[in-house]
Amino acid sequence: MTGDETSSPLEKLRDYYDHEELVCPDCGYEDERGSWDSETDGGVVEYTHECPECGAVREHTLEVGDE
C-alpha cells in the first residue's frame, strides 16, 4: 500500500456513524437523510444525533488521538 492516507481512522469512524448508525434504537426509525453533528474542542469529538421521529438523542464521544 502506498501513499494515500486521506482516510484517517477518525474519518472512517465518522463515515460509519453517518451511514450505519442512523437507525434509532428506541423507535427503529432510519434517518436516511440525517447525519451526526460533530463538535470538537481539540481533544474529543462529540457526535450527536436526534431522531426526527421520537426525539431520542444519541451521543458518541471520541477521543482524538494523534495517530
Cβ 58 to Zn ion, closest distance in Å? 9
Number of residues that bind Zn ion (CB under 5 A): 8
| Residue 6: CB atoms within 10 Å | 6
Q: Which residue has 423507535 as its cell numbers?
A: 27
- Binding mask 25-44 toward Zn ion (x if CB under 5 A, else -) reads -xx-x---------------
Indicate the pairing of strand 37-40 with strand 44-50.
antiparallel
Please identify, using beta-carbon distances, which residue of 18 and 31 lies nearer to Zn ion.
31
In angstroms, give the least distance from the CB of 28 to Zn ion.
Answer: 7
Q: Which three cell numbers stand for residue 33?
A: 437523510
